[in-house]
Structure 1
Amino acid sequence: MSKREVNDIMLHFDDQVSADLEFDIIKGMLEKKALQPTAKARSLALVPLKNRRSIIRRLQETEELRRLISEEDSFPALEFEEMHDELRLLNIRDSVLLEVSFSKISRASHTMNSIIKQLKGQADKAPRLAYIQKEIPFTKDLIDPIAKVFNDKGQISDNASTTLSQIRDEMTGLRRKISRNFNRVMKDLQEKGMLADIREGFVNNRRALAVESTYKRRVNGNVLGSSNTGTITFIEPGAVIPLNHELEILRDDERKEKRRILKELTRVARRNLPLIHSYQTALIEYDCIQARTKLAIEFNAFLPGIPKKTGLQLVKAYHPLLVKTNEGLGIETHPQNINLSKDGRLLVISGPNAGGKSLTLKTVGLLQIMLQSGLLIPASPTSEVGFFDSILTDIGDNQSIENQLSTYSYRLGRMRHFLKVSDSNSLLLLDEFGTGSDPELGGALAEVFFEELYDRGVFGVITTHYANIKSRAAELKNAVNASMLFDRETLEPLFKLEIGQPGSSFTFEVAENNGISHKIIKRAKSKLDRRKVELDAIIGDLQKDKAKLAKLTNRQLRAELEAEKATMEARKIKTRFSEKTDALNESTEAHNQDLTRGRKLGQFISQFMPGSHNKNLLEEINKYLALENSRVEDAKKRNAGKSSKGKNTSIPSAKRRPNHRSDEIKKGSLVRLRTGKERGEVIAMQGKTATVMFGSFKTRVKIEKLTFLR
């Protein structure tokens, strides 16, 4: 690893952090997706980076290939083998490659040409993938010479050279002659009853007669061996001995000619050594990318937004290993929405044991490590995740028998390390913060640690049961309390994170749910300060009431949205009905006018006198036409006046409308529905549509239906 690559690695990332967040399991899964040894080794050696450019390059490569595959644009299969030995031999003068080496080179060239052809014209769609092969030409400079020498089975063909063709023709004729002579001798001995039941065999790759040992001196030939029992002697017939010698000479000639051909073909490969080296480099890169892409598809992972600021906003985020486990058990996995920003950079999660606190913490850490290692994460693409220089963890029971360290001693050692290295670019993950010692004394020390870490500007997720930590988080400006919800009626955790208030540990409820008798629980409550029990109950009731309020709010919002849709639909129907009515009235009026004109025309026809000047009639017709013409002109003027009036009246009407300041709406704005009073925060913008969080209810609304508040 180069010095630059070492400097790119995330600070203070060690085996303990990897084990705490189960990143080793992710790397093992990635290794199985890789095809060749180098990509497999890189997968197992994967570490998170802190260099923004390097991280984004890996992420974009993976996202481009994921999109190509998901959009049914097939990507060529990576049918290649690494060519380290071949590259080494080609650097040695007068060395000759083996037959199998040319098969590797040919497959690599075919695969690379397929990739070049696939990515041709897709520089805009997959610029990162195209960049890897941009200096590699589409060529058959290696494919064609190899194809002239080798057949489809990867063997040197008879047509590789005229000399080889002649040698093999002679060998074919000689083998036939040997076979005829052998069969003639075998038939003669068979008739004489001198052969064993098996008749023949092979010894040292030579065909031999299986002669009964009692007759071996009567058969002309060379003895090649005998059976284990000695009852059968294997003899090469004298009639084929000189022919076999001649065949061996031809085989040696064939070997020499094949080596000459391979030596000549090696010269061609050596002239194209830079091209073969570029094949090797590019294909290994594509192997690593396809491994990351296969893992992303398996995890249903996407590329989130990558802001330059430190922090994260995970939307519908999943722990990938939990999803795999729950899928096997047929259990639903609940997504989490987690936000760490400068205004709320320390998230303190409390709530019952087995309620999902540690899992939420691990989800944040694992997804952050995956992303900074170039892996897509199982979260909504509307998520935004910045980068950290270091991730510091203290999760689980890590007591050391070897070093005689208790859990608390280990945690104090980790905390000393955190206080030494943490800063505003660190992500801190502390599970069961402060435990392992006397609750009162340990809680006081934990509170001081909490304040020290807060003053360093760190980002982090902390799980705890200590009331003083919850209280301190409520007091500090940039710290936020959160709780894991618990159903007090069913005594079951809901595995949902609620931001804004601390949670009860539900100690007695969890104990009851695990089979502890009511009598014991009652005795335990009697040993506590009554105010402590009441406070815990109040917190639990507040959580329950808040959950009910959230449900009611969601119902109200849905009702308002449905009402807004119904109102808009009714307006459309009314407009269509008015247009149809106006069109029908105009049609009726035009029809009546046509009837009147038709009757008048009938009168003129009846008054017309053939052969007469009809002077009076013509004057009457001219007067009628002039009158009708003036009526038509008046109607046009009235219609033009109505149209102009409609346009003019629309201007003051628009001025009288309230100013909703829709053009000021952006991500982070506080807005409300124009038809309702509920306020919400814009968490994403896409064109003329905004994604708004109304409490715990998220919906997409057109901007024209929102009013900007601040």
Structure 2
Amino acid sequence: MPLFPQDLEARIGFAPVRAQIATLALCELGRRGVLESAFSTDPRAIAQRLDLLHEFKELLMFHPEFPREGYLDFTPNLKVLLSSQERFTPGELVALHDSLVTIEAIVAFFAQDGCEYPALRELTSTALVPEGVCRQIERLVDQNGVVRDSASPALQKIRRAIYDRQGQISRIMAQLLRQGQQQGLIDESAQIQMRDGKPVLPVPAGSKRQFQALELGRSATGQTVYLQPYEALEAQNEIANLQHQESEEIARILSEFTDTLRPHHEALKGCYALLGQVDTLRAKALFALQVGGSRPILADEPTLHLRSATHPLLVQALATQGKKPVPLDLNLDGEERILVISGPNAGGKSVALKTAATAVYMAQCGFLPLAGENSEISVFQDIFVDIGDAQSMESDLSTYSSHLLAMRYFTEHAGARSLCLIDELGSGTEPTAGGAIAETVLENLARSHCLGIVTTHFANLKHCAEQTEGLVNGAMRFDTRNLRPLYSLDQGMPGSSFPFEIARKMGLPREFIARAEALAGREYISLERQLHEAANQKKLWSQRRQEADALYAQVATLKANLDKAMAELAEQRRQIVRQAKDEASRIVRESNRVVERTIREIRESAADREKTKAARGALQEFQSALLKQPVDEGAPEVTSKQASVPGDALAGGDFVRIVGTTSTGQIVSATPKRAVVAIGQVMTTVPIDRLERISGAEFRKTDRSQRQQSSLAVDSLRQRRLNFHSDFDVRGMRGEEALQEVQDHIDDALMVGVQHLRILHGKGDGILRARIRELLRSLPTVESFADESEQLGGAGVTIVKLR
């Protein structure tokens, strides 16, 4: 079975929460919907339920005018339509009218143009209230459930006759009352009264015989009798007959109207099914607003990343004291699958366990868990829980035996899509044996690749978590100075139970504590110290690895920039050479033309001295003009430093600068054409003609500057990498603000070396999504982008891949 044990809701503390949410429903349909919201393992169905609930939460925040009246469960009354012998009563028609008006208002609200809630719009689009039903009910009955006189001509005629007879009786009774009072037979203050729906005269018992009337009753003292005069009997009998006709006509009208509704039985059932869904969503969303529930991201791979998660009961309990709970952050994925939490008693271990279990269970039951919107939860096929005392008197099982049965079930059924939550693993028996069995269970769960959380006090389980792949330690933080729990989880570090410190705080005698420490021995204290040292070393190496990754990324960036600069310089050089060759070709062509013309003129002048002299003079003027042409200012000036000087060749050990840059380094090896230069920690090959020799002092000065800049850059990059999140949310931002956030996030991603991003922009009317994608198309650093999968947000999330 996907849930273990059967009373899982009670074990994790969600049963009373579900009951609270049910009380927020407006009708029985909604209450039943909340109580019957079952655990699902279908990612698509879960995503759809959470989308509906998220939209309804926003609706309650921004649309207080949404219908809140007329929610009632009319489905039992619809059975009347299945029997031709039954009909609706006037009161039932009033209830039918009021609820159908509410359903029509709900459907109309989501059908209007520009609706911001696509999931809710789709949900309500299939509901069809039979046309004209509400108007027909209004024509037949009033709000008090009385059939109107105008319901039919026959009913109107009957009631007019009844009113006439009632007027006639009233006149007769008024006349007899006045006569009796004038004759002193009836008290002056007496009034006409009603007995069994009939008007009567209150007459003293002694005067009874003075009236020709039928006695209909006496007062409690017997001194007053109530008489109906014979003169009014005939009219009263006519009224009784008319009232019978009235009842028959009303029954005919109601039966006729009920018959018109019988073909719409299924449509009406659908309408009330929708009303129940809306009431259920309303109750859930209202609770989420009260306690801070949010829609998490549904992950494809087995994942449990909780951000600022809390338990609903704890939130409510602390709210009465004016306090807030310490939120829980934890990360479980393919590398760190099972979290082993240790720490002192009453430090929050069990609360963390129940908080994680409740968050996952609520999401898969269609409730918004109390966790940040950036939390990621995958869909689990199984949730196995062993929390609390499971002692069974009926089965003759001790607490420890019940725990062992649960462990056997977990190890037999846990898989990669299971979530196992175990409180105080191995407790309840002799510590050595219990710890050994617990370690075996933990190793087995690690091999099953399930995700899980285990709480313990056993040191061997902490040690197992440090050495076993897929396991990770976690500690509930503790203020050792004031000896009080901080209720905050520190993942990656084993916790301590602090038994001796707490014993001191509780006032146990010093000699008791000293004796206990002696009995525990050095091995216990040494093991605790070794665990903490191992965890500290692990954390240190993790930090150093992150620093190395950041430094590598920085060096790669510097190398890329250097390669780019050198490529630009090479291109520049090629352009200069090409321009020089073009200019030389032009000069040669022009020179040839002038020389040829000079020779021709000399030949034509037959060696005439004056003409020859003039031709030579023209040739010399052309040569002088060439020498006087200005040098192209765009071409770089080649100095003696930059030129390759024979006899002064660069060699290994020389300090050099790359021409046209501020980058300096030392030659490691050199050939006549190329040299291998060490620039900081990077080795690069540079053409000899692009290097210039510098002094050692100048090299040291620039090297220090480069080191300082590199250190600052690495620190900045390290900080950026630690704070960077590939998922970011722009919902609620204005257009320009959202576009700037996307641009900034892409820049940061390129800097820290992240290639994939997820932008949460919501669906809405699609304008924000379109503008973001237009920006992405214009960025050369973006390789591709697409919609997220439907179960993880669909068109409301854009996945971006950077180059």
- TM-score above 0.5: yes
Residue of structure 2 aligned with 1:258, choices 250, 258, 275: 250
- CA distance in 1 between counterparts of 2:716 and 2:661 reads 19
Residue of structure 1 aligned with 2:68, choices 74, 77, 83: 77
Q: Which residue matches 2:86?
A: 95
CA contact (8 A) 1:503 1:543 kept: no
Cα distance change of structure 1 residues 342 and 83 upon mapping to structure 2, 3 Å threshold: same
Cα distance change of structure 1 residues 709 and 52 upon mapping to structure 2, 3 Å threshold: closer
Please tell me whether residue 675 in structure 1 is matched to residue 716 in structure 2: yes
CA contact (8 A) 2:57 2:289 kept: yes
Cα distance change of structure 1 residues 189 and 121 upon mapping to structure 2, 3 Å threshold: closer
Residue ranges of structure 1 left out of the alignment (5+ in a row)? 1-9, 548-640, 643-651, 659-670, 690-699
Q: Which residue matches 1:576?
A: none
Q: Report deviation, 1:200.
A: 5.5
Residue of structure 2 aligned with 1:327, choices 290, 313, 319: 319
Q: Secondary structure at the match of 1:211?
A: strand
- CA distance in 2 between counterparts of 1:703 and 1:497 reads 31
Cα distance change of structure 1 residues 705 and 374 upon mapping to structure 2, 3 Å threshold: closer
Q: Report deviation, 1:161.
A: 2.1
Q: Which residue matches 1:185?
A: 176
- CA distance in 2 between counterparts of 1:684 and 1:119 reads 34
Q: Secondary structure at the match of 1:498?
A: strand
- CA distance in 2 between counterparts of 1:358 and 1:404 reads 26
Q: Secondary structure at the match of 1:316?
A: strand
1:2-151 matched pairs, under 5 angstroms: 11-72=2-63, 74-77=65-68, 79-93=70-84, 95-121=86-112, 125-137=116-128, 140-151=131-142
Cα distance change of structure 1 residues 469 and 539 upon mapping to structure 2, 3 Å threshold: closer
Q: Secondary structure at the match of 1:528?
A: helix
Q: Deviations over 1:61-108 (max 9, x none)?
A: 111211222233743225143233442221223532211232233223
Please tell me whether residue 508 in structure 1 is matched to residue 551 in structure 2: no
Residue of structure 2 aligned with 1:704, choices 747, 751, 763: 747
- CA distance in 2 between counterparts of 1:518 and 1:335 reads 37
Please tell me whether residue 435 in structure 1 is matched to residue 427 in structure 2: yes
Cα distance change of structure 1 residues 705 and 419 upon mapping to structure 2, 3 Å threshold: closer
Q: Report deviation, 1:674.
A: 6.9
Q: Deviations over 1:214-253 (max 9, x none)?
A: 3333332112222344333222233322222122122122
Q: Report deviation, 1:471.
A: 0.3
CA contact (8 A) 1:688 1:702 kept: no
CA contact (8 A) 1:199 1:211 kept: no
- CA distance in 1 between counterparts of 2:193 and 2:495 reads 84
CA contact (8 A) 1:116 1:138 kept: no
CA contact (8 A) 2:341 2:349 kept: yes
Q: Report deviation, 1:352.
A: 0.5
CA contact (8 A) 2:296 2:371 kept: yes
Q: Report deviation, 1:267.
A: 2.8
Please tell me whether residue 153 in structure 1 is matched to residue 144 in structure 2: yes
Q: Secondary structure at the match of 1:347?
A: strand
Q: Which residue matches 2:551?
A: none
Q: CA RMSD in A?
A: 3.3
- CA distance in 1 between counterparts of 2:370 and 2:183 reads 81
Q: Secondary structure at the match of 2:227?
A: strand
Q: Report deviation, 1:672.
A: 8.3
CA contact (8 A) 2:364 2:379 kept: yes
- Amino acid of the structure 1 residue aligned with 2:137: I
Cα distance change of structure 1 residues 241 and 513 upon mapping to structure 2, 3 Å threshold: farther
Cα distance change of structure 1 residues 537 and 205 upon mapping to structure 2, 3 Å threshold: farther
Scaled by the length of structure 1, the TM-score of the pair is 0.74
1:222-621 matched pairs, under 5 angstroms: 222-533=214-525, 536=528
Equivalent pairs: percent with the same residue? 28
- Amino acid of the structure 1 residue aligned with 2:40: L
Q: Report deviation, 1:534.
A: 5.6
Please tell me whether residue 176 in structure 1 is matched to residue 219 in structure 2: no
Q: Report deviation, 1:447.
A: 0.8
Q: Which residue matches 1:162?
A: 153
Q: Deviations over 1:95-142 (max 9, x none)?
A: 322112322332233222212221125687323222233234576421
- CA distance in 2 between counterparts of 1:422 and 1:198 reads 87
- CA distance in 2 between counterparts of 1:260 and 1:672 reads 90
Please tell me whether residue 685 in structure 1 is matched to residue 727 in structure 2: yes
Q: Secondary structure at the match of 2:433?
A: helix
- CA distance in 1 between counterparts of 2:318 and 2:534 reads 30
Q: Which residue matches 2:564?
A: none
- CA distance in 2 between counterparts of 1:497 and 1:52 reads 29
Q: Report deviation, 1:210.
A: 2.9
Q: Report deviation, 1:428.
A: 0.6
Q: Secondary structure at the match of 2:320?
A: helix
- CA distance in 2 between counterparts of 1:195 and 1:400 reads 81
- Amino acid of the structure 1 residue aligned with 2:9: S
CA contact (8 A) 2:462 2:531 kept: no
Q: Which residue matches 2:674?
A: none
CA contact (8 A) 1:504 1:539 kept: no
CA contact (8 A) 2:33 2:276 kept: no
Q: Report deviation, 1:506.
A: 1.1
Cα distance change of structure 1 residues 474 and 170 upon mapping to structure 2, 3 Å threshold: same
Q: Deviations over 1:654-695 (max 9, x none)?
A: 999x9xxxxxxxxxxxx9877364451633433899xxxxxx
Q: Deviations over 1:564-602 (max 9, x none)?
A: xxxxxxxxxxxxxxxxxxxxxxxxxxxxxxxxxxxxxxx
Residue ranges of structure 2 left out of the alignment (5+ in a row)? 540-632, 635-659, 665-679, 681-711, 732-742, 755-803
Q: Secondary structure at the match of 1:368?
A: helix
Cα distance change of structure 1 residues 186 and 377 upon mapping to structure 2, 3 Å threshold: same
Q: Secondary structure at the match of 2:716?
A: coil
Q: Deviations over 1:412-470 (max 9, x none)?
A: 12112222222221111100111000111111111111111211222110000000001
CA contact (8 A) 1:30 1:43 kept: yes
- CA distance in 1 between counterparts of 2:487 and 2:464 reads 25
- CA distance in 2 between counterparts of 1:39 and 1:463 reads 38
CA contact (8 A) 1:399 1:405 kept: yes
Q: Secondary structure at the match of 2:722?
A: strand
Q: Report deviation, 1:170.
A: 2.5
Q: Which residue matches 1:615?
A: none
- Amino acid of the structure 2 residue aligned with 1:97: F
CA contact (8 A) 2:307 2:375 kept: yes
- CA distance in 1 between counterparts of 2:65 and 2:714 reads 44
- CA distance in 2 between counterparts of 1:79 and 1:399 reads 48
- CA distance in 2 between counterparts of 1:391 and 1:329 reads 33
Segment drifting more, 482-491 vs 680-689: 680-689
Cα distance change of structure 1 residues 520 and 174 upon mapping to structure 2, 3 Å threshold: farther
CA contact (8 A) 2:43 2:379 kept: yes
Cα distance change of structure 1 residues 17 and 439 upon mapping to structure 2, 3 Å threshold: same
Q: Secondary structure at the match of 1:437?
A: coil
CA contact (8 A) 2:129 2:268 kept: no
For these two proteins, the number of residue pairs brought into alignment is 576
Q: Deviations over 1:351-387 (max 9, x none)?
A: 0110100000000001111000011111111111101
